[in-house]
Chain A
Amino acid sequence: MKIKFIQSGGFAGIVKEANIDTDKIPKDTADFFQDIITNADFFNLQLKDEQPMPDVEQIYITVEQEDKSHMISFSTLNIPEKLKPLVDEIQKQMEIKKF
């Protein structure tokens, strides 16, 4: 499973990213991510399209697994409860994208 995580839109215009390949990380961490994706029914998750708010950071998560791919987005003020542990974990690994 591949997780692409992008957080951007804050006051300073910084784009932060993290790319996770669960085949390349320790098994317990990979299981942790897999459980959250399964429990959240990620591939069927349809969130309401929010109007972005000024300087509020927006998160975009794309998950690819086998032949499936799905992207969702939400603001940092409105993180879906079931995805919160995943967001908290990945936020620690984000890197600033330098232009």
Chain B
Amino acid sequence: MIEKYFCHDDFCRIIPPYMIDKLLESKDSKIRKMALLSFKIDNFIRSVRFIHKKERDLLMEELKIKPVKIVKKKIRHIYDSQNSQHLPGILVRKEGDKLSNDKEVDEAYEYLGDTYDFYNTIFKRNSIDNKGMRLDASVHYGDHYNNAFWNGWQMVFGDGDGKIFNRFTLDLDVVGHELTHGVTQHECALIYRFQSGALNESFSDIFGSMIKQFKLNQTVDQADWLIGANLLIGEKYAIRSLKSPGTAYVNHPQLGTDPQPSTMDKYKDLEIYQDNGGVHVNCGIPNHAFYVAAMELGGYAWEKVGLIWYKLLQKLDSNANFERAAKLSIEIAEEMGEQEREAVIKGWKEVMVI
């Protein structure tokens, strides 16, 4: 009942959280006030979704006087959309609950945990927003739905059609990719169009891949650097390759051949109506720059070049292009040492951004 009045998803479309964050910083006190109200409603909706009216009213009262608490532990909620397009759906597994015996639910739960652990252990980051935000994911979204996405609040995973795509919870790198969109939103909020959008995608691929490497304890030369190796059905297919963009799938019967370029001279100048200006296509270029730098430095990707890219994510502006990312990452690397600087320069040179 409550959901009807405060539809989670509809609200998101009105004021996305990253915008609320920006509004909270506004010099105009009226705007700050409005943003604060939205922020309270947001948290209110999140908390009241499953409680009674009486309790809801009490909670409202409470919210007026109490500030929102920063949580310092991992909290996951997995919902089941039951093959509808309703979000978030029914809560089926929350933090600490036993296995649900629904593989999509349990994979999402496990991989959200792995992603949280990676960011927390390596970068001391406290969840998506660094303020302990609860990790919400809905599975079984839509009917044989061939996609996964981040809607500004939560992750959403489809079951796949079983012909081209497997279930979207199958690969840890895919789950890590989606969650990293949330991290990006709370850091530099890269605009999801053209080059800034391709950088947004690239951060998700890079961190998604590192999260998998971290779980498997792989060094850079042991990693496969693939995204969605199990998601795309067929032994020899994956969605993207950071090691060799353009080769993740070749002559696929339905999809053709992976269109990703790995160098700027092959950059695909696509229109806005083609993948928001090729965000999933041209991300091959910064992806490969990262790969080259990581291989140059060796060891575990997250130790050096991963740290540089994490700092880059915090420093970039929302409309940054590849050149800006290259320049800033080289500056960050310089502070770490000569070897790091040279490796990052090599990466961006190889993909012809500099």
Contact = CB atoms under 8 A, between A and B. Distances in A.
A99 B276 contact: no
B245 to A, nearest CB: 12
A96 B278 CA distance: 15
A31 interface: no
A99 B151 contact: no
A32 B178 CA distance: 38
Main secondary structure of the interface of A (DSSP, over half): loop
Interface residues of A, number: 25
15 contacts: A8-B274, A10-B147, A11-B177, A11-B239, A12-B232, A51-B192, A54-B178, A55-B150, A56-B149, A57-B149, A96-B254, A96-B256, A98-B255, A99-B257, A99-B268
A6 B273 contact: yes
Nearest to B19: A51
B274 A15 contact: yes
A11 B279 CA distance: 10
Main secondary structure of the interface of B (DSSP, over half): mixed
A96 B200 CA distance: 24
A13 interface: yes
Contact of A77 (B13, B191, B192, B204): B13
Interface in B190-210: 191-193, 197, 200-201, 204
Nearest to A95: B254
Given A54-B149, A99-B259, A11 B174 contact: yes
B149 A14 contact: no
B273 A98 contact: no
Nearest to B151: A53
